[in-house]
């Protein structure tokens, strides 16, 4: 389904009080919230969510960052959701993120970059199922 993407507001942005600001910008950009929760990933959750990066040198750091506090998970709907949301969040490295993007506004470093967005329609579906049961989706 090309109209859904999965967002996480990462622990750094939650700690820094940016949940409201980020949800405001996401909805102002035309995304509709189809599911939403505050939750905390276990080590196993984070290792499984980012399994594609398990051989990378930063994997341990990524897992410990993603599990250190609560996150907000949201399922978002919009035409071209995956690619439009990646545009809204900006480059992985906030130093390279375009003006006005969520990472330019709220990220502090490459590792602590405030927001996750799915990178394909297929992963959006897998990530939605990872975070939400059927009765949590609207
Ligand atoms: P995300 O999947 O969280 O939306 P992304 O798709 O922009 O981010 P990925 O390549 O999937 O980037 O990397 C996943 C996460 O791993 C990044 O968001 C970042 O937190 C971390 N990461 C990636 N590359 C590095 C790096 N070179 N050094 C430290 N952390 C990194
Ligand atoms: Mg990614």
* 10-residue mean pLDDT series, the chain (138 residues): 91 98 98 98 97 97 98 98 98 97 97 98 97 97
Residue minimizing CA distance to atom 18 of ligand 1: 92
Predicted confidence at residue 25, as pLDDT, reads 98
pTM for the structure as a whole: 0.97
Q: If you measure from the C-alpha of residue 135 to the centroid of ligand 1, how many angstroms do you get, rounded to a whole number?
A: 30
Cα(131)–Cα(138) distance, integer angstroms: 14
Q: What are phi and psi of 119, to 5 degrees?
A: -105, 0
Task: Give me the pLDDT at residue 21, please.
Answer: 98
pLDDT at 76: 98
Which of 8, 11, 92 for mutating ligand 1's site (highest number of atoms within 8 Å of CB)?
92
Kindly list the protein residues whose Cβ atom lies closer than 6 A to any atom of ligand 1: 53, 58, 62, 92, 110-111, 113, 116-117, 119
**Known active-site residue 3:** no
Q: Please give the pLDDT value at position 27.
A: 98
* Cβ–Cβ under 8 Å, residues 120 and 4: no
pLDDT at 2: 77
Handedness of CA 69, 105, 101, 76 (dihedral sign): positive
48 is written with which tokens?
């499984």
CATH code of the domain occupying 3-38+73-133: 3.30.70.141
Active-site choice (3, 53, 116, 131): 116
Cβ 136 vs Cβ 37: under 8 Å:
yes
Q: Which two tokens stand for residue 36?
A: 């939403």
Three-state DSSP at 17 gives: coil
The candidate with the shortest Cα–Cα distance to 114, out of 131, 97, 130, 127, is 97
Q: Contact 32/138 with Cβ under 8 angstroms?
A: no
């Amino acid at each position: 389904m090309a109209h859904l993407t999965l967002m996480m507001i990462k622990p750094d942005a939650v700690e820094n009080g940016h949940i409201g600001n980020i949800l405001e910008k996401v909805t102002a950009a035309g995304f509709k919230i189809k599911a939403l929760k505050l939750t905390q990933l276990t080590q196993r959750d984070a290792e499984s969510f980012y399994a594609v990066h398990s051989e990378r040198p930063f994997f341990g750091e990524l897992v410990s960052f993603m599990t250190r506090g609560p996150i907000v998970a949201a399922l978002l709907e919009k035409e071209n959701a995956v690619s439009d949301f990646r545009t809204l969040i900006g480059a992985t490295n906030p130093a390279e993120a375009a003006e006005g993007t969520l990472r330019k506004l709220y990220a502090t470093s490459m590792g602590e970059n405030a927001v996750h967005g799915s990178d394909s329609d297929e992963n959006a579906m897998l990530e939605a199922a990872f975070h939400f049961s059927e009765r949590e989706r609207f």
